[in-house]
Amino acid sequence: MAMSNTTKLYNYWEQLYPGLSTEKLDNFISSLECHIDQTGSDDWYKDAIVYALYVNLYNSDFNGLTEKLDYLQKLGVNCLWLLPILESPMRDAGFDISKYDKIRPELLGLSPESTREEQELVFGAFLKEAHNRGIRVIFDVAINHTSDQHPWFLNSKQSERNHFSDYYIWSDKPDRYLDARLLFKGIEDSNWEKSGNRYYFHRFFSFQPDLNYRNPDVLLSMSKNLLYWQSVGVDGFRADAIPYLWKENGTSCENLDLTHVIVKFFRTVLDYVQPGTLLLAEACQKPYEVVKYLGDNDECHAAYHFPLMPMIFKAVAKGDSQPITHTLSTAVTPKINDENQWFTFLRVHDELSLEHVYVSEEDRSYIHENYCHKKEWDFRVGEGISARLAELFERDTNKIALSYSIMLTLLGTPVVYYGDEFGKLNDQDYYNEQIKLTGKDDTRFLVRGRIDWEHLESTLQEPENFHARVYNMISGLLNTRKEHKSFGRGTLDFLTILNEKGLTINRILGYTRSYKSEKILVINNLSSETQVLSNPLSDDNLALLTMNGFTMDEDYMILQPYGFAWFLVV
């Protein structure tokens, strides 16, 4: 018999805090009873096309974003991932949160003294307009750390003992957790930062102190933060920096068993009140480690597939399907439960990451050499490339379209990074502006920046303009994908592709996606040369769904350089 959510919460509590009184947990569970809403769609995220954006950079504030919902709906998007919107000093683009229950007032068009009720009115109106268009909304919550301006930390660092003294990790000497790797190599030189006569522990920037989950008040406080936004109407959360929650001396302080127990606790709390509220793991790890954050469908619903992204870039640079097929083989990517899902992407707000935790030195060197076209794009001493998709592909519309063809048709739920649908370029002015603001030379600022809508709308009216050509191709692909559940839910089977001489062509990435009675064939030419191939499904009738650089005669399929085609098998 399956355990009740209540029983699960008590079990997790005992694992985290053995022997500790359950009085605080008793009171917490009692407070949940009046909020229970068992309506909701459990796996809506499988059919999602996610669009990631910064509200202020996209169109000033939530009123501006609401004005663009029709644009997003037409584009083919049905889920928005709002990059950090919560109160923050903005030294790390909002991932340094100073209040978890408050959106930055300027994003709402409100004054700094605005009330929670005023916040809920403006944000609630935006959510209603999005939901009316069939667009779900999720946002980032950094659950591992806060800003050093958060009231919890401001109280914690006081010399006198108070309720918040143990909300963070303090030490008289920086001599604990020495085996924890330095995540911001080249930017930070230690995981400890001095404050007065003591040191506090941090895994990211020095102004982002790590929370102390050994204190049960931290666990319950963070749970209440998630529950508040769930009650407002948010459809899910991207759990930022999830592998680092629990620390143990003598370990790497990553992926520890009790970290998973914390995640199970959060999932159970959300399910207790309203099942179907997405919990998305941001775990920059190898897939066999990432799948542990899905648990037995009792941790996160979904997780990012980080290695697939650099392998798509490697496959296109090399003109060889092997990097992709190997990465998605069970040797690298374990099978996951039917209820769970991978999230895939080409670019996001971060760098094209080449961390050794999920690429080899050979991969890292090859991708860096082929895509870091300018010295100033280098991030973390060769462990990443800070550049927009259009810049990485040197504004080659065929390569951009091909990369989307691959990402949109392989396994999982795709994420579109704002502006990539029209080939947005690196923003040097925004980069310079942010360096002055933060005092940190963080080249990731290059891939952010604002959209000039008046200029863009004019540009998109010019069919031969680079941005218009990219937009027309990408929006067409997104809307085609949206019509077929096989892409989000179906099985993936790679095909052996033969040329006109009957020889295997590794330059073609071909596969089928199948779900229930629907079957789709996808072929992608990864090379800079025209490829002639035999129809891999010659016994079936094929209906063309979309293509770029594709022709077909009676005997063969012909793909131009970086061409592709999607077919419905009928």
Positions annotated as catalytic residues are 240, 282
50 is written with which tokens?
Answer: 């996610």
pLDDT at 546: 98
Place of tokens 């001493």: 381
By CB neighbour count within 10 A (0-12 exposed, 13-18 middle, 19+ buried), where does 462 fall? exposed
Give CA–CA dist 90/85, Å, rounded. 10
Domain ranges of the chain: 44-144+216-482, 489-569
Give CA–CA dist 58/65, Å, rounded. 7
Which strands, in side-by-side order, build the sheet including 384-385? 352-353, 384-385, 378-379
According to DSSP, the residues that pair with 168 across neighbouring strands are 211
Each residue's pLDDT expressed in tens, for the chain with a length of 570 residues: 567 999 999 999 999 999 999 999 999 999 998 777 766 667 999 999 999 999 999 999 999 999 999 999 999 999 999 999 999 998 888 999 999 999 999 999 999 999 999 999 999 999 999 999 999 999 999 999 999 999 999 999 998 999 999 999 999 999 999 999 998 877 899 999 999 999 999 999 999 999 999 999 999 999 999 999 999 999 999 999 999 999 999 999 999 999 999 999 999 999 999 999 999 999 988 899 999 999 999 999 999 999 999 999 999 999 999 999 999 999 999 999 999 999 999 999 999 999 887 889 999 999 999 999 999 999 988 889 999 999 999 999 999 999 999 999 999 999 999 999 999 999 999 999 988 888 878 899 999 999 999 999 999 999 999 999 999 999 999 999 999 999 999 999 999 999 999 999 999 999 999 999 999 999 999 999 999 999 999 889 999 999 999 999 888 999 999 999 999 999
Domain 489-569: which CATH class?
Answer: mainly beta
Give CA–CA dist 353/407, Å, rounded. 17
Place of tokens 């040197």: 394
Query: Angle at the Cα of 454 (from 450 to 455), degrees rounded to 5?
Result: 80
Q: Residues of 197-234 as b/e, b for ≥16 C-beta within 10 angstroms?
A: eebbbbbbbbbbbbbbbebbebbbebbebbbebbeeeb
CB atoms within 10 A of CB 445: 23
64 is written with which tokens?
Answer: 């501006």
**Taking a C-beta distance cutoff of 8 angstroms, is the pair 293, 279 a contact?**
no
* Sequence-separated (6 or more) residues with CB below 8 Å from residue 486: 513, 514, 515, 518, 519, 520
Amino acid, res. 348: V
* Sequence-separated (6 or more) residues with CB below 8 Å from residue 246: 213, 214, 253, 256, 257, 258, 259, 262
The interaxial angle of helices 216-232 and 23-32, nearest 10 deg, is 0
In the predicted model, what is the mean pLDDT of the chain?
95
* Sequence-separated (6 or more) residues with CB below 8 Å from residue 60: none
Confidence (pTM):
0.95
Amino acid, res. 142: A
218 phi/psi in degrees, rounded to 5 = -65, -45
Place of tokens 């959360």: 237
pLDDT at 3: 79
466 is written with which tokens?
Answer: 């680079």
SS3 content of the chain, % helix, strand, coil (to 5): 35, 20, 40
529 is written with which tokens?
Answer: 């040369």
Closest to 242 (Cα-Cα) out of 219, 272, 212, 262:
262
pLDDT at 331: 95
CATH number of 44-144+216-482: 3.20.20.80
**Taking a C-beta distance cutoff of 8 angstroms, is the pair 167, 215 a contact?**
yes
pLDDT at 130: 98
Give CA–CA dist 151/473, Å, rounded. 47
